[in-house]
Amino acid sequence: MLRRLFVLMALCLSLNGQAMEASLSLRVSPEFQRGNHRSPYYADLPDSRIDTATSRQDMELKLREGGFYAHGTWRVNLAEGNSTESRGLINQIFHDGKLTGDTGWSIGRKVLSWGVGFALRPLDVVQRENRRDINPPALVGVSLAALEHFTADTAWTLVWANPGAGRAENDHKDEALALRGYRFSGKDDVHIVARISRARQFEAGIGAARVLNDEWSFHGAALYSRRYHKWLNRLAENRAEVFALTNPQARVAGQHGGKAVIGAQWTGRSGWSVLAEAFYDGEAYTRSEWRRLNALTRRQQAAAFAVPAMLRETNTAWSSQAYLNANLLRGNLLLRLSHDNGDGFTPYGEMLLTPADGGRVTTLGMTHVGNRQQFSMGWRNMGGSEHAVYRRSPVRNLFWLEWRITMGN
């Protein structure tokens, strides 16, 4: 339905003949993943291989005229040993309009990112972007209707997200009412958010950013959630069984959760920039939850001789889904160093540390922006002390490349 609407609106606009901005881009993003064969979470399944090469090809069309904006993607996924998959998706399609001089509205599917933070944005309660993803595709917005009111130094936004969708397991599709307040004053930005939904009940948070001088800036934010959810392996939690015949991952509700981030950034005239950020994700696994999951994998390995290899490997793969979370532990520290040479070339290196268990994620990458082409590449390694959660990840190394070419008026 949305796709038809997108095509129809694009056609109407092109016939309209007014000054429409249009751009077409092609992104080719191959990725190579190398497994950690010594990880207890490494599953050797023929249809879900960890040591694999994949490539995502995205053809993106963006149209803009006045308050109308549309962004669609045609995606072709190639994976070693698997058949080619293709599909179309609507990233965004919305219209921004005005009610009065200082009050506006938005309707459609729109990316709406709120708050402050680099590796974690606690106040991002509508879009909920995964900030730790590597080489991510373009964001897909949330269906919403919004009212915005601006004054010279404040802004209020009231959002009805996913109207009519009701309670959903996926936050991105959960019906909710959200309010964002923003005020800037001199060197400070202050953000407040509140969100109510049946799934999460009530969330509220506050954040701020301050520019101290030409070089230094600081930011911090915190969010309280009345209720939150996470996926836990029920075999690990209740210890009754060792193997499951169906996916034992169960969605479990938690009460009184929270997220917080605090960070500082220094940028010199030379183009060097350093970021340090500490963040807490109350929805990530606790160390005791990891201990219980580790104990389960040990029990499964001890009993492996008695069950078919496929059952053992499948159970390992289900347990390894814990590694799909954006943050694997609650307390995290990110250090990032980057350089902008002023000619479109930006190399960077970053290290994410989990002080509770000595885990470490190292990422090195670079981006080069040319006239119409953009090229980026990078490498990420999971490591740390012997029993660190990241060290036991079934994936040890990730390499990625991206080439993008954009055409448009």
Partner 1 sequence: MSKKTFVLLLGFLSGLAQAADAVSPLLREADAFRRPDGAVKVEIDVEQYRQGKLDKARRYTVYVKPGRRSLVLMKSPSEVGQKVLMLGEQFWLLMPESQRPLRITANQKLLGEASTGDIADMTWSEDYQGQIVGEVDCPQPGIEMPQLSKPALLRRCLHLDLSAARPGVTYARLDLYLEKASRQPVKADLFVASGKRAKEAWYVLEPGERQITRMVLLDGIQTSRHTVVYYRSVLPRESPDAFFNPAALVNNALSGW
Task: Report the residue from 112, 206, 236, 328 that binds partner 1 according to the rule CB under 8 A.
Answer: 112
Residues 120-139 that bind partner 1 (CB under 8 A): 121, 124, 127, 129, 138-139
Judged by beta carbon, residue 63 or residue 293, the one nearer partner 1 is: 63
Residues 63-92 that bind partner 1 (CB under 8 A): 64-69
The percent of the chain in helix, strand and coil, each rounded to the nearest 5, is 15, 55, 35
89: β partners: 73
Judged by beta carbon, residue 67 or residue 355, the one nearer partner 1 is: 67
Position 269 contacts partner 1 (CB under 8 A):
yes
* Contact (Cβ atoms closer than 8 angstroms) between residue 95 and residue 107: yes
Task: Report the residue from 47, 133, 214, 386 that binds partner 1 according to the rule CB under 8 A.
Answer: 214
Position 192 contacts partner 1 (CB under 8 A):
no
Position 407 contacts partner 1 (CB under 8 A):
yes
How do 272-281 and 201-211 pair as beta strands? unpaired
373: β partners: 405
Q: What does the alpha-carbon distance between residue 84 and residue 148 come to, in Å, rounded to a whole number?
A: 43
Position 190 contacts partner 1 (CB under 8 A):
no
Judged by beta carbon, residue 397 or residue 406, the one nearer partner 1 is: 406
Q: Measured between alpha carbons, how far is residue 231 from residues 18, 113, 169, 221, 254 in Å?
A: 50, 24, 11, 25, 11
Would you give the binding string for partner 1 spanning residues 142-181, x where CB under 8 A is met? Answer: ------x-xxxxxx-x------------------------
Task: Report the residue from 37, 48, 177, 216 that binds partner 1 according to the rule CB under 8 A.
Answer: 216
Judged by beta carbon, residue 187 or residue 291, the one nearer partner 1 is: 187
59: β partners: 26, 74
Position 94 contacts partner 1 (CB under 8 A):
yes
* Shortest distance, position 98 Cβ to partner 1, whole Å: 7
Position 96 contacts partner 1 (CB under 8 A):
yes
Position 241 contacts partner 1 (CB under 8 A):
no
Residue 380 has which token pair?
């990420």
The DSSP call for residue 182 is E
347: β partners: 366
**CB within 8 Å of 15: residues ≥ 6 apart:** none
Amino acid at 136: P
Q: In Å, how far from its chain's centre is CA 370?
A: 26
**If we measure between CA atoms, which residue out of 330, 349, 285, 290 comes closest to residue 122?**
330
* Shortest distance, position 147 Cβ to partner 1, whole Å: 12
Other C-beta atoms closer than 10 Å to the C-beta of 290 total 21
Q: What does the alpha-carbon distance between residue 279 and residue 337 come to, in Å, rounded to a whole number?
A: 18
Q: What does the alpha-carbon distance between residue 42 and residue 120 come to, in Å, rounded to a whole number?
A: 27
* Contact (Cβ atoms closer than 8 angstroms) between residue 231 and residue 237: no
Position 367 contacts partner 1 (CB under 8 A):
no
Residues 324-363 that bind partner 1 (CB under 8 A): 340, 342-344
Judged by beta carbon, residue 65 or residue 171, the one nearer partner 1 is: 65
Q: What does the alpha-carbon distance between residue 27 and residue 77 come to, in Å, rounded to a whole number?
A: 12
Radius of gyration for the alpha carbons in the chain, expressed in angstroms and rounded: 23
* Shortest distance, position 217 Cβ to partner 1, whole Å: 5
Task: Report the residue from 4, 15, 17, 19 that binds partner 1 according to the rule CB under 8 A.
Answer: 19
* Contact (Cβ atoms closer than 8 angstroms) between residue 88 and residue 1: no
Question: By CB under 8 A, which span of 210-218, 230-238, 252-260, 280-288 interacts with partner 1?
Answer: 210-218
* Shortest distance, position 398 Cβ to partner 1, whole Å: 20
Size of the site for partner 1 (CB under 8 A): 71
Task: Report the residue from 159, 209, 223, 329 that binds partner 1 according to the rule CB under 8 A.
Answer: 209
Judged by beta carbon, residue 102 or residue 241, the one nearer partner 1 is: 102
* Shortest distance, position 284 Cβ to partner 1, whole Å: 22
Q: Tell me the residue length of the chain.
A: 409
* Shortest distance, position 374 Cβ to partner 1, whole Å: 6
Position 369 contacts partner 1 (CB under 8 A):
yes
Position 268 contacts partner 1 (CB under 8 A):
yes
